[in-house]
Amino acid sequence: MKSPRHTDSQVVGRLLLTIYNRLFATYGPQCWWPAEKPFEVMVGAILTQSTAWRNVEKAIANLKAAGALSPVALRRLSLSEIAVLIRPSGYYNTKARKLKTLAEWLEDSYGDDIAQMSAQGTERLRHQLLSVFGVGPETADSIILYAANQPVFVIDAYTRRIIDRLGLAPGQESYRAYQTLFMNNLPGDAKLFNEYHALLVQVGKKLCRKLPLCAQCCLSDLCPISQVDKYIEGV
């Protein structure tokens, strides 16, 4: 269920910052993405597709234990060997191909130099990543934000649900429309986008579920859905 839309840009900008400040005060810094090196972020962005993060952690632990968490190592392994290591993440045969393709792309495009990759303009890098097998908009933007440290806002299912309920849904349903909502109304700062996305994921997992726990949410007074629920309860 979507709430009535806010359309004034100044109102939207203030509300987005208020939401961020409330979430940060409630949950604190999320220290996301949890990875030791940028390539681990890239691997995690592939592995997290259609699975819970706890499963990704198991797969990454397997890769680390096997000394396979590098583009060179992944290129040396067969698809079946990679699949065995990342089995906990699900869809492991397909993800093995995605990881190997990503490792090959990194070598072909940048000689495995992630600093060089990160020095590309955001739109150029995004275009390149989207040409890689298995990399869609959310995965590409996760790599750009968390590995390349460039200011692009990552949109996922949690973000869409929260934004819709808060009455901030854009006029279109597209990924780009939701992303533009944030990027046109917030300062273009990678650290802010990083923390904001992680906080939305946190509240989405804990409270803003398909059946929301509005009474426990720090955003409940800002949320039309929550106010409707409170009214119904009081009738």
The CATH number, out of the four listed (3.90.950.10, 1.10.340.30, 1.20.140.10, 3.30.470.20), of the domain defined by the range 1-235: 1.10.340.30
d(CA 50, CA 57): 14
> pTM for this structure?
0.91
Contact 196, 182 (CB under 8 A): yes
pLDDT (tens place) for every residue of the chain, 235 residues total = 455 555 577 889 999 999 999 999 999 999 999 999 999 999 999 999 999 999 999 999 999 999 999 999 999 999 999 999 999 999 999 999 999 999 999 999 999 999 999 999 999 999 999 999 999 999 999 999 999 999 999 999 999 999 999 999 998 999 999 999 999 999 999 999 999 999 999 999 999 999 999 999 999 999 998 765 543 444 3
In this structure, what token pair is assigned to residue 146? 């968390």
Three-state SS string over 37-78 comes to CHHHHHHHHHHCCCCCHHHHHHHHHHHHHCCCCCHHHHHHCC
Sign of CA dihedral 218, 213, 166, 204: positive
> Taking Cα atoms as reference points, which of 177, 59, 88, 135 lies closest to residue 143?
135
